[in-house]
Amino acid sequence: MKKRIVFLLTLSTCISVNAQDSYTPIASGANFPVKEVHLEFLREAQDVHSQREHLWNLWASINEEAPSGGPLWETWLSADHVFRPSESEVLAPPKVKNFERPLQFVDLPSSAVPEAPGQSQFATVLFNQEAHDFVRSQKLYLAATLDEINRSLTQQAVSLDNRDIPDFPRESVVLKTVWLHVAANGRTPIPVWDFNPSRPDQSGNDIGTWPRSVVVDTTGETIQRGILDQGRKVVPLTSFYSVELTNHNLIRNSSPGDHMILIAMHVTTKEIRDWVWGTFWWHDKADFGPYALNKTQNLRGVWRNYLMDVAFDSDIPREYEGSANAVINPYLEARFPMGMTSNCMTCHRKSAWPLASFLPIERGKISTSDQRFENRVRLDFLWSLGMRAK
Ligand code: HEC
């Protein structure tokens, strides 16, 4: 694995490597995309069991090993590439990740971001080929195109219900991968989410406020079962999917040889009109509790160490006290005020141009005839379009 990365980097300094070279799609044998009527039935029937199985299968499919090594999603097209301003731009090889602060955290002044390893999240956004091709062919990466679509909808007096860009193709998949920095040859504490927020939901529960951490050990010493570091459980680097940092993608306060561990991932697919929303996060006891349910046998190795939740709908299935469906990833949404009650689809439905804030958190389906869509065009649920258009 290490060897291959070095090889790719050496290659990239001599010639420009086209990201397409090693692009690996979801295998044609995988059950993807699933028929829309079937998935819509699962939504209506509130068949959470089958919805979850669908997401675990998808997780297994995108984590299949690519011929170039590593999970196949790593060969997908980065947001930098999708939103490149012109066709001629030279591409970075796909595996040299450009780790960024999650755009959801833009409200945080950068000085407020904790600098120590393990204490702040980094992200990359990846598109599969179909989603990439759609953005490029429709020129949706240009603010001028979004302005033009919006202008023409207004000119033709199109009703609020129909102020949308064209739909992405059903085969589209978009990912948001979330990483924590772990020092080489050391022990880095990382926060683990046990569903026990220490603060009221309206104050937000950023990872720095969580009561428990585990310590990721990269010293190479043999880890004995049950060993503790200042009362914290020690886990090996091999319980995560991780990549090694190189001179080409260092983040603040990092050195070549440090690691980025995959702590969480958001996955959305256009298999239904409102997209299917799935989210995964690491846990040291990933075989227990409601978020481990229905895990399929085809998941192997580190990929079993993640928990999952799924949203097919903004409202159903309802929470036990009758409120709208809440589906979150603790590593991304817990920090928002009322983040614990958020829902992927509800927030993403608000993505429209000209851009407005994705906050505050709202619950339940937002009507397409909502006044906030006046003189604006909805961006088929993807926030990246409005936030990254050039
Ligand atoms: C409060 C609003 C909000 C909630 C809730 C939310 N997201 Fe997002 N999401 C965003 C924003 C803002 C971005 C940033 C877009 C980017 O990075 O380009 C984003 C990015 C993403 C992306 C990258 C692609 C894109 O264009 O949007 C995916 C995939 C995604 N979210 C999935 C999810 C899933 C799955 C959930 C639920 C577990 C979720 N989101 C919950 C606001 C939200």
pLDDT at 13: 36
Structure tokens at 230: 């200042």
Q: What's the CA-to-centroid distance between 58 and ligand 1, angstroms?
A: 18
Please list the ranges in the chain whose pLDDT falls under 50: 1-20
Domain chopping of the chain, boundaries: 2-138+170-342
Say which residue the tokens 């649920």 belong to. 381
Which residue's CA is minimally distant from atom 9 of ligand 1?
383
Quote the pTM value. Answer: 0.93
Question: Which protein residues touch ligand 1 with a CB less than 6 Å away?
Answer: 79, 103-104, 125, 174-176, 266, 268, 277, 279, 327-329, 333, 336, 342, 344, 347-348, 358, 361, 382-384, 387-388
pLDDT at 19: 44
User: Tens of pLDDT along 25-75?
Assistant: 999 999 999 999 999 999 999 999 999 999 999 999 999 999 989 999 999
Q: Among 56, 207, 5, 189, which Cα is nearest to 122's?
A: 207
Q: Strand 306-311 relative to strand 228-229: parallel, antiparallel, unpaired?
A: unpaired
Taking the CA atoms of 34, 36, 37 and 38 in sequence, report the sign of the dihedral they define: positive
In this prediction, residue 90 carries a pLDDT of 55
pLDDT for 312 equals: 98
Identify which of 117, 119, 136 has the alpha carbon closest to the alpha carbon of residue 127.
136
